[in-house]
């Protein structure tokens, strides 16, 4: 085994040494912690680098498949784990930057290379000689005395082959491979179309009276946006820090409608960016893939490798939540509608009205305007507050690292330490731009692993679209943005605190319906005064956030909880409906969506969520969007333990780190959860926290 790994390493080093002479993606990165040398990497480097890396990986795979030694865990499973290190590095840079710092040339490169990468992946999992070796090791696993992590790697490797067609006949393999290539290209096109439609629309306001109701900071940001485009007046975009406040506060209903319709028609405008046919084709291809694998539909196929196990369990989970949340949701909606009517609104409540009137009701109900919080949530102070929280819980420190190159001036890099131990590099990319897709996410340029030559620490990236600095004012976050920051940081620390041997099992490489637990768990701290008081200070006066503000944050936590729960579950139902199809559908996507949503507001022709639903058509959540609520049920349960012991309790945090965060995907999530909690999940934890059900009162 050592001989084979040595040969693979020599082949990899030799090839990258020769090919990397003029290509920074392939050469040795003589940078701090071997971070990407972004300033040296140009678009013209990606095609040759990716193709060279694929060639190298193919040679390594062929070497593993053709060796004469009997298959073992080391010479087959571990060797495969290390066979595509260069390819992983190159693709990690390309695909991550395509999400957050792209241009038309890079998008074309991705469209060209995605099918080639899929073709290589298919050639691996459909390699009969290689699969015979994998299967031999798998069939003899009981006698190999493997650790739990080794067992998981073996099972994951074997399943990957089977789930990607290794057991199919020649015709089936050809069909599966062809479909997989097309799906990879369609997924990239879907994402590019949404970004293009997002950037294509602006609301240009030239009359000041049309800004009525907007907070001063929103008006100032709109002015700054106009100036940056060389325009007079004010510009509102579909980037959420611009779109969200306008929909919430703008008095001008006509403009709210125009903006809402632009946002909710992305990918559905009948132009070159239209995603209707892409969705029809993707759902058809996914169904065909599932059928080839012996499943009735794609949902069955996808869920066979998730915590939920099958569509029936997902349906039962969502139905139970829907039954509990629906009465609350109806009451939420009626309260907003009645409030609007009582304040002179004499038209039917529409989708572009709900945020506006619900915010006014919230202000009246809690005597509180959420915009009053912004001055206390300066981005730099929030960031330091989160850093300090992870220091308090897990002993981490974050050191500003200007010596580490970033891919954009807005991005900052940090070295993360646990005492004197280097844990990894963290990149924070906080502000919207046209080269970045909407939303917020965490990803990696490199995952954590261990080898005979030492430990490899991760390079973690957090990408958000937060409110930008305006003039001489710093970036002031909304409370929702603070929650989002905490959420994505939870993902980042899941990757940063990983302590496993194999990169494919490290950090967030867990079941999709478990991966949101560490991230959603951290949102709970946002409602705790003990945490808020550590960093929430007025950016001008330094005054700590008033206690009455914190109390109002807590009291308003479950405001519209029923309505918002039903909204998210509805999206999960649409996702499941698309991926439970057994035949192609020919109609409009918006009509299909409407058939499977629980709606309280009137439908709007030409508008829907699905044609911009990147989570399920470009983001890996196909037949998995329910997972946010699934993991939320787990986090409600887990945070109860933190509350019981104290939200800064070191013992509880250490146990969570050791038994969940550091373990990555080395054991089944059910095992990880039980190891930490000492029991199975409480099925009612989320409903109790949301106020959908109440604990019975005990007689005294």
Q: What is the pLDDT of residues 364-392, one digit of tens each?
A: 999 989 999 999 999 999 999 999 999 99
Q: How many residues does the chain have?
A: 700
Name all contacts of 267-271 with Cβ < 8 Å and 24+ positions apart. 267/190, 267/193, 267/194, 267/197, 267/611, 267/612, 268/589, 268/590, 268/606, 268/607, 268/608, 268/611, 268/612, 269/197, 269/606, 271/197
Task: Say what the pLDDT of residue 622 is.
Answer: 98
606-620 confidence digits (pLDDT tens): 999 999 999 999 999
Task: Say what the pLDDT of residue 368 is.
Answer: 87
Distance from the Cα of residue 667 to its chain's centroid: 22
Whole-number Å distance between alpha carbons of 305 and 288: 18
Whole-number Å distance between alpha carbons of 617 and 267: 12
Which residues sit opposite 317 in a β-bridge? none
Closest CA to 48 of 86, 103, 104: 86
Tokens (6 digits) for 80: 């495969």
Tokens (6 digits) for 540: 């001008």
Whole-number Å distance between alpha carbons of 219 and 597: 35
DSSP H or E segment with residue 236: strand 234-237
Q: Does residue 217 have a pLDDT over 70?
A: yes
Q: Over 435-499, what HEC string results?
A: CCCCCCEEEEEECCEEECCEEECCEEEEECCCCCCECCECCECCHHHHHHHHHHHHHHHHHHCCC
Q: Which residues are catalytic?
A: 488
Q: Does residue 21 have a pLDDT over 70?
A: no
Tokens (6 digits) for 359: 């915010």
Residue 12's pLDDT band (boundaries 50, 70, 90)?
low
Residue 1's pLDDT band (boundaries 50, 70, 90)?
very low
Summarize the confidence of residues 82-89 as an average pLDDT: 97
Closest CA to 603 of 334, 237, 348: 348
Read out DSSP for 187-201? HHHHHHHHHHHHHH-
609-648 confidence digits (pLDDT tens): 999 999 999 999 999 999 999 999 999 999 999 999 999 9
Residue with token string 């009053």: 372
Closest CA to 663 of 515, 505, 426, 520: 505
Residues 594-626 as b or e (16 or more Cβ within 10 Å = b): eebbeebeeebeebbbbbbbbbbbbbebbbbbb
Residues 48-65 as b or e (16 or more Cβ within 10 Å = b): ebbbbbbebbbebbeebb
Its pTM stands at 0.95
Summarize the confidence of residues 278-288 as an average pLDDT: 98
Identify whether the C-beta of residue 555 lies closer than 8 Å to the C-beta of residue 548: no
Whole-number Å distance between alpha carbons of 260 and 263: 5
Whole-number Å distance between alpha carbons of 677 and 291: 38
Residue 307's pLDDT band (boundaries 50, 70, 90)?
very high
Summarize the confidence of residues 121-147 as an average pLDDT: 97
135-179 confidence digits (pLDDT tens): 999 999 999 999 999 999 999 999 999 999 999 999 999 999 999
Average pLDDT, the chain: 95
Percent of the chain with pLDDT over 90: 95
Task: Say what the pLDDT of residue 696 is.
Answer: 63
Phi, psi of 412 (to 5 degrees): -120, 145
Tokens (6 digits) for 376: 């206390």
Percent of the chain with pLDDT over 70: 96
Residue 178: count other Cβ atoms within 10 Å of its Cβ. Answer: 16
Summarize the confidence of residues 96-123 as an average pLDDT: 97
Task: Say what the pLDDT of residue 142 is.
Answer: 96
Tokens (6 digits) for 36: 């990407």
Residue 632: count other Cβ atoms within 10 Å of its Cβ. Answer: 22
The C-alpha R_g of the chain, in whole angstroms, comes to 26
Distance from the Cα of residue 634 to its chain's centroid: 18
Going from the C-alpha of 606 to that of each of 201, 351, 501, 593, the distances in angstroms are 16, 13, 50, 12
527-571 confidence digits (pLDDT tens): 999 999 999 999 999 999 999 999 999 999 999 999 999 999 999
Which residues sit opposite 449 in a β-bridge? 456
Task: Say what the pLDDT of residue 132 is.
Answer: 98
Residue 694's pLDDT band (boundaries 50, 70, 90)?
confident
Q: Is 592 left (phi over 0), alpha (psi -120 to 50) or beta?
A: alpha
Q: Does residue 101 have a pLDDT over 60?
A: yes
Residue 458's pLDDT band (boundaries 50, 70, 90)?
very high
Task: Say what the pLDDT of residue 374 is.
Answer: 96
Q: Does residue 461 have a pLDDT over 50?
A: yes
Whole-number Å distance between alpha carbons of 414 and 244: 30
Residue with token string 């991005």: 411
Residue with token string 């001036």: 409
Q: Does residue 104 have a pLDDT over 90?
A: yes
Decide which of 3 and 509 is more confident: 509
Domain ranges for the chain, please list them: 2-125+127-163, 201-263
Name 694's Cβ contacts closer than 8 Å, sequence gap at least 6.
Answer: 688
Whole-number Å distance between alpha carbons of 557 and 311: 31
Name 330's Cβ contacts closer than 8 Å, sequence gap at least 6.
Answer: 562, 600
Which residues sit opposite 425 in a β-bridge? 415, 459
Task: Say what the pLDDT of residue 451 is.
Answer: 84
Phi, psi of 473 (to 5 degrees): -90, 140
3-class SS of residue 169: coil
Name 227's Cβ contacts closer than 8 Å, sequence gap at least 6.
Answer: none
DSSP H or E segment with residue 396: strand 396-400
Name 317's Cβ contacts closer than 8 Å, sequence gap at least 6.
Answer: 308, 626, 629, 630, 633
Residue with token string 């330094």: 542
Residue range 2-125+127-163 forms a domain whose CATH class is: mainly alpha
Q: Does residue 4 have a pLDDT over 80?
A: no
């Amino acid at each position: 085994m050592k001989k084979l790994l040595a040969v693979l390493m020599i082949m990899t080093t030799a090839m990258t040494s020769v090919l990397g002479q003029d290509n920074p993606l392939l050469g040795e990165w003589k940078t701090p912690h071997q971070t990407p040398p972004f300033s040296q990497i140009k678009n013209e480097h990606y095609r040759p680098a990716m193709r060279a890396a694929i060639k190298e990986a193919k040679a390594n795979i062929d070497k593993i498949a053709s060796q004469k030694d009997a298959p073992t865990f080391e010479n087959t499973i571990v060797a495969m784990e290390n066979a595509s290190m260069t390819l992983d590095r190159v693709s990690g840079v390309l695909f991550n930057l395509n999400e957050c710092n792209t241009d038309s040339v890079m998008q074309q490169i991705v469209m060209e290379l995605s099918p080639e990468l899929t073709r290589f992946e298919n050639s691996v999992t459909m390699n009969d000689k290689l699969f015979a070796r994998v299967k031999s090791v798998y069939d003899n696993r009981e006698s190999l005395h493997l650790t739990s992590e080794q067992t998981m790697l073996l099972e994951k490797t074997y399943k990957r082959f089977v789930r990607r067609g290794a057991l199919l006949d020649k015709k089936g393999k050809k069909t599966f491979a062809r479909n997989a290539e097309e799906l990879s290209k369609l997924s990239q096109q879907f994402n590019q179309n949404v970004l293009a439609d997002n950037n294509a629309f602006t609301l240009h306001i030239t009359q000041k009276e049309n800004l009525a109701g907007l907070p001063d900071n929103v008006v100032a940001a709109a002015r700054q946006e106009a100036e940056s485009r060389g325009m007079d007046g004010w510009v509102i975009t579909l980037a959420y820090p611009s779109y969200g406040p306008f929909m919430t506060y703008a008095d001008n209903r006509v403009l709210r409608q125009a903006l809402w319709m632009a946002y909710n028609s992305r990918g559905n405008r009948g132009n070159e960016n239209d995603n209707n046919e892409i969705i029809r084709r993707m759902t058809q291809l996914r169904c065909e893939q599932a059928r080839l694998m012996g499943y009735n539909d794609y949902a069955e196929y996808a869920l066979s490798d998730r915590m939920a196990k099958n569509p029936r369990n997902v349906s039962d989970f969502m139905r139970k939540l829907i039954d509990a949340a629906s009465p609350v949701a109806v009451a939420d909606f009626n309260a907003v509608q009645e409030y609007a009517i009582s304040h002179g609104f004499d038209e039917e409540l529409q989708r572009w009205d709900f945020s506006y009137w619900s915010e006014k009701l919230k202000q009246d109900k809690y005597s509180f305007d959420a915009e009053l919080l912004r001055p206390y949530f300066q981005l730099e102070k929030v960031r330091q507050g989160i850093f300090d929280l992870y220091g308090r819980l897990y002993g981490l420190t974050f050191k500003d690292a200007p010596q580490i190159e970033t891919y954009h001036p807005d991005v900052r890099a940090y070295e993360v330490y646990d005492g004197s131990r280097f844990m990894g590099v963290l990149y924070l990319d906080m502000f919207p731009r046209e080269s970045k897709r909407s939303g917020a996410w965490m990803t990696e340029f490199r995952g954590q692993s261990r080898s005979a030559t030492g430990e490899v620490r991760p390079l973690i990236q957090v990408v958000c679209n937060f409110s930008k600095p305006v003039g001489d004012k710093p970036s002031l976050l909304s409370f929702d943005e603070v929650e989002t920051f905490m959420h994505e940081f939870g993902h980042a620390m899941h990757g940063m605190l990983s302590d496993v041997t194999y990169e494919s099992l490290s950090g967030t490489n867990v079941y999709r319906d478990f991966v949101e637990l560490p991230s959603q768990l951290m949102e709970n701290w946002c409602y705790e005064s003990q945490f808020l008081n550590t960093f929430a200070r007025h950016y001008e006066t330094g005054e700590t956030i008033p206690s009455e503000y914190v109390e109002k944050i807590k009291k308003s936590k479950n405001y519209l909880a029923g309505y918002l729960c039903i909204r998210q579950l509805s999206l999960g139902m649409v996702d499941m409906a698309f991926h439970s199809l057994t035949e192609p559908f020919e109609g409009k996507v918006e009509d299909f969506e409407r058939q499977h949503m629980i709606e309280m507001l009137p439908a709007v022709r030409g508008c829907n969520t699905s044609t911009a639903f990147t989570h399920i058509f470009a983001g890996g959540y196909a037949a998995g969007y329910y997972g946010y609520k699934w993991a939320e049920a787990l986090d409600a349960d887990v945070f109860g333990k933190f509350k019981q012991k104290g939200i800064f309790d070191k013992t509880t945090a250490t146990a969570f780190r050791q038994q969940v965060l550091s373990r990555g995907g080395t054991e089944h999530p059910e095992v990880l959860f039980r190891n930490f909690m000492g029991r199975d999940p409480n099925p009612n934890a989320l409903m109790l926290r949301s106020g959908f059900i109440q604990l019975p009162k005990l007689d005294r």
